[in-house]
Amino acid sequence: VRSIARVAASFLFSCVTLSLGAGPSAGCGEDGSAPYAGWDTAEDSDGVYRVRFLAPPWKRVPTTEGDGRIELVVPQVFGSLDAGTPPKYTLEASLLRGLALPTLQAEIARISSARVLRDPAPFTTLSSDIGFSAVLADSTNARFYQLVTLAAPSDRALLVVVELNEDPRNDLEIDAMLRAIDVRPFAE
Amino acid sequence: MRAANRPPLAVLALSSLTLLFAAAARADDPAVTAVDTPSLARDGEVRASDGPAAIPSVAAADSDAPRQSGAALAEPPAGVAPRRAEPLPAPVDEDPPWDGPRVELGYTHYSLGDGFGGGAVHAVSFGGYLPTGQLRLGLIGDGGARDYALGGGDAVLRATLVAGWQGVGLVDYVMPYVVAVASCGVVVGQRFATTFADALLGLGVEVGFEVNPVRTLHFGASLAHVRADLDGLGYGLWVLRLFVGL
């Protein structure tokens, strides 16, 4: 009986110690387990949309002030040196006049050397913005393209073009990045 | 000349046959068999299976121990003298318990969430602690894989220093302990086809127990709450560790 009492007392003491240790430490820093924790946000100059990206490896490329564009790249680097070769990934977002689907079809036609791997299909972001998505492959430069258009205010469409080396249909990271795009009105 | 000194073949054959018959007759005699090849069974009986070394000594034969076939030992047949058993070797003391550092091999599990539903870490741990009485002072290293929901897993390596109290002798066979833990490590993986290596630092509290069934063999479990930092992000880790050690 005394042994059981000792174990019970030790267990209670341990629980109290553990909870005391866990309590004060629970509020330090941003919660890394939260969705998109540690990701940065890029917002266009007019505040119409914003894109989340993980930096590094993504880097924002400066664009002309007021053109409504956002350009991001994942450069090929060796150590801290940019290899100068085409980036592993590029993402370009821009606002165009028109609706989402015709804008996407026009962009597919513009990349004439590419073949369509996935026809335009409905696409919804985490903030419930609605649009369309398609996947292309360009054999001339061995690059893949994922195109997304989203409805934007003032009869505009947000066109997002991601260029990469691998088939984006299996790339969950790119999918997570595209689904995090938010068009005004922004979700909280 | 040499042939004349040899014994005749008939004499040799007769001698051999005589010896064989004598041996066969001894083998058929149960009393003689019991004397030649006895052994002490668990209940004190003498059984014919072990070697002569197991023959009880004369002193043992005079004792009050229960005997059955032992009667044959008391009155051995003519020509068969009971042999004294070799003196029993002095009892050898068991090796004193190992009082050096204890080592442990274990399995460690915790979740270093990636924000997309992954982050579970499964690791193998190896470590130990010093024989410092109530003060528990040890070092544990673990290495494993972290699940990443959006791609290939990450590798996690960690070293943890523990210091605190352990209840030596508090309860038979069971030793609880409470320690502070400080850990450092590295997480290596890929994001968007780019390799990264981020430092993982942590501080926390661990409670656990060891069950010590025999000598230094022990097994146990522990639960720790560690506040960790990975590349500027905070994590509240609940670290479960199961281990076995010597």
Q: Where are the domains of chain B?
A: 104-245
Mean pLDDT, rounded, for B160-186: 93
Choose the mutation target among B134, B136, B207 for the interface with A, i.e. most A CBs under 10 Å.
B207
Write out the CATH class of domain B104-245. Answer: mainly beta
Considering only residues B166 and A66, tell me which one the structure prediction assigns the higher pLDDT.
B166
Residue A40 contacts residue A54 (beta carbons within 8 Å): yes
Considering only residues B74 and B46, tell me which one the structure prediction assigns the higher pLDDT.
B74
Digit-coded pLDDT (tens) for B135-172? 999 999 999 999 999 999 999 999 999 999 999 888 88
- A180's enclosing H/E stretch is none
Joined tokens for residue B25: 């007759």
According to the model, what pLDDT value does residue B239 have? 96
CB contact set of B195 (below 8 Å; sequence gap of 6+): B188, B189
Complex confidence, ipTM: 0.83
The Cα–Cα gap between B167 and B177 comes to 6
Q: Give the global pTM.
A: 0.70
What residue in B sits closest to A29 (Cα-Cα)?
B234
Mean pLDDT, rounded, for A70-94: 85
According to the model, what pLDDT value does residue B229 have? 94
Burial of B220: CB neighbours in 10 Å, binned 0-12, 13-18, 19+: buried
Q: Quick one: residue A35, left, alpha or beta (phi over 0 = left, psi -120 to 50 = alpha)?
A: beta
3-class DSSP state of B33: helix
According to the model, what pLDDT value does residue A130 have? 94
Digit-coded pLDDT (tens) for B52-89? 444 444 444 444 444 445 554 556 666 666 666 677 77
Q: Which of B111, B196, B205 sits opposite A18 (nearest CB)?
A: B205
Contact B205 A20 (CB under 8 A): yes
According to the model, what pLDDT value does residue A80 have? 66
Choose the mutation target among B233, B237, B239, B240 for the interface with A, i.e. most A CBs under 10 Å.
B233
Residues in A lying within 8 Å of B, measured between beta carbons = 3, 6-7, 10-11, 13-15, 17-18, 20-22, 25-26, 28-38, 54, 56-58, 74, 77, 88-89, 165-166, 172-173, 176
Which residues of chain B neighbour A30 with C-beta distances below 8 Å?
232-234
Per-residue pLDDT at A128 exceeds 50: yes
According to the model, what pLDDT value does residue B4 have? 42
CA of A73 vs chain B CAs: smallest distance (Å): 11
The Cα–Cα gap between A148 and A162 comes to 9
Which residues of chain B neighbour A7 with C-beta distances below 8 Å?
171, 174, 176
